[in-house]
Structure 1
C-alpha cells in the first residue's frame, strides 16, 4: 500500500513524459546486502550506481532490516549513510522513503528504523517520502488492510 502521493506518480505528474520512473526494488533485500551486492542483489551498490543512467535515486529499504536482531541502530544508520554516499558520489540526487508499517511482531523495530530514516533526511537535507507516517496517520485502521 502506498500513499496517494507515491513517488512515481508525483514525479510523473510533475515532469510528464520527460521523466521515466523505473522501480528497481529487490524484494527481501536488507541494507548490508544492497551495499555489498549479496543475496538477491545482482551487484554491489557502487557498481549499480556507476552503471545506472538514473538522475534521481530513491532508497526504500528497512522492512527486512527491522527483523535482523544483529542490526543495531548504529548498523542501520551506517549502511543507510553508506548507500546515500555511494549514490551521491555517482552524481545521483537521492531521496529516502520510510517503510510501510507492518503488523507483525517479527518487524517490531520498523517504527525505530523509520525514525532513523527521518533523522537522516533532516541531518543530510534530503527529501523524504514518509509512507510510514502517512499510513499510520491517514488510515486509522491500517492494520485491517493487511493480509
Structure 2
C-alpha cells in the first residue's frame, strides 16, 4: 500500500461558493485623476475596474511609503503609525488579473526607472568627486 492510498486521508470535498452579496465599488470615492486612470484602463483592456483599483491604490500607498503617518489618538503625539495598504485580486483564470495589475503598476514602475537613472548619475558624480578629493588630500599630506 502506497502513502497515497492510506485510508486515514479524508475524502476530497468540492468547494462551494457562498451566496454572499458584496457592495459594488463606488468610483465616486476615488480622486478624479485616479478615477479617470482606472476607467480608461478598464475600458481599453475590458477588465473589471475593481482589479485595477486594488492594484492602483496599493501602488499609490507604496509611493507614499513612510512619508505620511496617522495619529489615531488626538492627544498622544507619540503614538503614530504608518498606514500600509494590502490588496488581493481574486478572479477566475484569464479574467485579466495580471494585465490589470501590470497596467496599474506601470506609472510607479516608470517613476522607479527615472529614479534609478538619477541615483546612478548621482553615484557616478559622487565617485568622481571622491577621486578628486582623495587626490587633493594626497597633495596636502605630501
- TM category, shorter: under 0.3
TM-score normalised to structure 1 length: 0.22
**Could you say which structure has the higher helix fraction?**
2
More strand per residue:
1
